[in-house]
């Protein structure tokens, strides 16, 4: 199976032990998922579709993508743009973020409809997120959603994590409307119940799943922190327990790595309950280390 992940990868400035010293890294929700896919199954073909500038930091990001074993031959080049940036601040171990993404080339990733269409045509499963939709303008969103609908009609599998981030949207109504439009283009939806309950007023994970099924999804897996994972497919529905974790160090990319394991399981023909158990194991390993990209292995994925 050939997998295409679409979205934004940003430069990350994380504080070091010495005051005023930061480490430059790169991370972003859909990139994190692509990165973990390659870590847990190096045999999977993974491509990343984004927008990149022509400056030095864009070249550095491209090198990071290549070094991860991810195909960087898709996407668009935007000469007058660069890589978005975020800065991590720590206060007694609690993380907060400051963002600079106004000049991000990824905001123009849908500016070449033919490149987007070609990339989708050449892959079997296409993965995107609510953040992917949020960074685009209205025309870009429509271009992306139209391309995804065409791909789905042609037999491609479309996977979507709503990843609700209200600060990226002009208003809540637009966020909710576009999120459901994203679900309407998707076969698989991978929401997080805490966010869904907050913004859609869902009473329980089953309500979250039913809303996305009603929008046209066929499979919904509702992440729910340390509580049971609820899943619903045309063939079955049920829950999977989350193993307890002794010490959570950093929850960054917990959902991204979980999604990677679900997609890898589908690629390998593993049943959904077993894939969810593997996803819990992988995300459990990720939250016990600091940072978005944790050096996990296939062992952390197997059940």
Q: Which residues are catalytic?
A: 256
Give the chain's end-to-end CA distance (angstroms, integer). Answer: 21
| Distance (Å, whole) CA 145 – CA 185 | 7
| Sequence-separated (6 or more) residues with CB below 8 Å from residue 104 | 8, 10, 51, 81, 82, 83, 84, 135
Q: How many C-alpha atoms does 238 have within 13 Å on its Cβ side?
A: 10
Distance between alpha carbon 157 and the CA centroid of its chain, in Å? Answer: 15
Identify whether the C-beta of residue 94 lies closer than 8 Å to the C-beta of residue 68: no
| Distance (Å, whole) CA 215 – CA 40 | 31
267 three-class SS: helix
């Amino acid at each position: 199976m050939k997998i295409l992940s679409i979205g934004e990868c940003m430069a990350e400035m994380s504080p070091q032990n010495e005051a005023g010293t930061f480490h430059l890294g790169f991370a972003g929700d859909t990139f994190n998922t692509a990165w973990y896919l390659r870590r847990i199954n190096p045999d999977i073909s993974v491509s990343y579709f984004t927008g990149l500038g022509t400056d030095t930091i864009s070249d550095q990001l491209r090198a990071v993508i290549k070094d991860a074993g991810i195909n960087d031959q898709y996407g668009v080049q935007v000469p007058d743009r660069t890589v978005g940036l975020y800065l991590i601040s720590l206060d007694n171990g609690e993380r907060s973020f400051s963002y600079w993404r106004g000049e991000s080339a990824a905001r123009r990733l849908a500016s070449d409809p033919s490149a987007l269409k070609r990339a989708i045509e050449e892959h079997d499963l296409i993965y995107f997120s609510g953040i992917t939709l949020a960074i685009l303008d209205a025309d870009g969103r429509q271009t992306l959603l139209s391309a995804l609908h065409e791909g789905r009609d042609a037999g491609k599998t479309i996977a979507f994590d709503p990843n609700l981030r209200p600060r990226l949207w002009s208003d809540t109504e637009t966020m909710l409307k576009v999120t459901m439009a994203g679900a309407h283009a998707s076969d698989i939806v991978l929401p997080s119940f805490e966010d869904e309950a907050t913004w859609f007023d869902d009473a329980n994970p089953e309500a979250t799943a039913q809303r996305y099924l009603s929008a046209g999804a066929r499979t919904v897996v509702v992440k729910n922190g340390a509580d049971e994972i609820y899943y619903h497919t045309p063939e079955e529905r049920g829950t999977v327990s989350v193993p307890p974790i002794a010490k959570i160090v950093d929850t960054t990319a917990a959902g991204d790595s979980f999604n990677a394991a679900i997609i890898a399981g589908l690629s390998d023909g593993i049943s959904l309950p077993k894939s969810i158990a593997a996803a819990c194991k992988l995300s459990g390993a990720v939250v016990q280390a600091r940072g978005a990209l944790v050096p996990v292995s296939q062992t952390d994925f197997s059940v």
